Structure 1
Amino acid sequence: MGNATKVSYFLLSAYSDTGVFKYLYFTIIMSLYIFIVCANVLLIVIICLNRSLHEPMYLFLCSLFVNELYGSTGLFPFLLVQILSDIHTVSVPFCFLQIYCVYTYVCVEFLNLAAMSYDRYLAICHPLQYNTRMTSNKVAMLIAVTWIFPFLAIVVLLSLSLPLQLCGNIINRVYCGNYSIVKLACSDTRVNNIYGLIYTVISIIIPLILILFSYMKILKVCFSGSKQTRQKAVSTCTPHLASLFDMSSLPNMLRIFLSLYFLTCQPLFNPVMYGLNMSKIRLICKSLLSRSMRKCFCPNYPGSQEE
Structure 2
Amino acid sequence: MDARLNVTFITLGGHVEVHRYRYLYFLIMLTAYILIIFFNASIVCLIVINKNLHEPMYTFIAALLINSVLFSTNIYPKLLVDFLSEKQIISYSACLLQIFTFYSLSCSEFLLLAAMAVDRYVSICKPLQYPIIMTKTAVSILLLLAWVVPAGHVAVPVILNINNKLCTYTLKGIFCNNAAYNLYCVTSRFLSLYGVVVLFNVGIFPMLFIVFTYTKILVIAYQSRREVRKKAAQTCLPHLLVLINYAVLLTYDVVIIKLESSFPEVARVVMTLQIVIYNPIFNPLIYGLKMKEISNHLKRLLCQSKYN
Q: Is the TM value for this pair above 0.5?
A: yes
Secondary structure, in 3 states, of the residue corresponding to 1:74? helix
Secondary structure, in 3 states, of the residue corresponding to 2:173? coil
Q: Which residue of 1 aligns with 2:260?
A: none
Cα distance in 2 between the residues matched to 1:83 and 1:259: 15
- Cα distance 1:84–1:188, how it changes in 2: closer, same or farther (>3 A)? closer
Structure 1 residues 87-106: aligned runs within 5 Å: 87-106=87-106
Q: Which residue of 2 aligns with 1:137?
A: 137
Q: Which residue of 1 aligns with 2:269?
A: 256
- Structure 1 residue 18, shift from structure 2 partner: 4.8
Cα distance in 2 between the residues matched to 1:163 and 1:19: 33
Please list the CA deviations of residues 237-277 of structure 1 after superposition, one character each: whole Å capped at 9, or x if unmatched: 11101111134999x97322202323321111110110111
Asked if the contact 1:7/1:166 (under 8 Å) is kept, the reply is no
TM-score, structure 1 as length reference: 0.86
Unaligned runs of 5+ in 2: 1-5, 253-263
2:306 aligns with one of 293, 301, 304:
293
Please list the CA deviations of residues 120-166 of structure 1 after superposition, one character each: whole Å capped at 9, or x if unmatched: 12222222322222222111110111112222333222111112111
Cα distance in 2 between the residues matched to 1:209 and 1:198: 15
- Structure 1 residue 104, shift from structure 2 partner: 1.7
1:267 aligns with one of 269, 280, 290:
280
Secondary structure, in 3 states, of the residue corresponding to 2:11? strand
Q: State the one-letter code of the partner of 2:305.
A: S
- Structure 1 residue 19, shift from structure 2 partner: 5.0
Asked if the contact 2:105/2:147 (under 8 Å) is kept, the reply is no
Cα distance in 1 between the residues matched to 2:18 and 2:164: 34
Q: Which residue of 1 aligns with 2:13?
A: 13
Cα distance in 2 between the residues matched to 1:188 and 1:68: 31
Structure number, greater radius of gyration: 1
Q: Which residue of 1 aligns with 2:289?
A: 276
Q: State the one-letter code of the partner of 1:109.
A: E
Asked if the contact 1:74/1:102 (under 8 Å) is kept, the reply is yes
Please list the CA deviations of residues 161-217 of structure 1 after superposition, one character each: whole Å capped at 9, or x if unmatched: 11211111121122101x322232223512221222222221111111111111111
Task: Kindly indicate whether residue 72 of structure 2 is the aligned counterpart of residue 72 of structure 1.
Answer: yes
Asked if the contact 1:182/1:192 (under 8 Å) is kept, the reply is no
Which has the larger helix fraction?
A: 2
- Structure 1 residue 52, shift from structure 2 partner: 0.7
Q: Which residue of 2 aligns with 1:220?
A: 219
Q: Which residue of 1 aligns with 2:3?
A: none
Q: State the one-letter code of the partner of 1:262.
A: I
Unaligned runs of 5+ in 1: 1-5, 296-307
Cα distance in 2 between the residues matched to 1:188 and 1:57: 42
Give the total of aligned pairs. Answer: 288
Secondary structure, in 3 states, of the residue corresponding to 1:254? helix
Q: CA RMSD in A?
A: 2.3
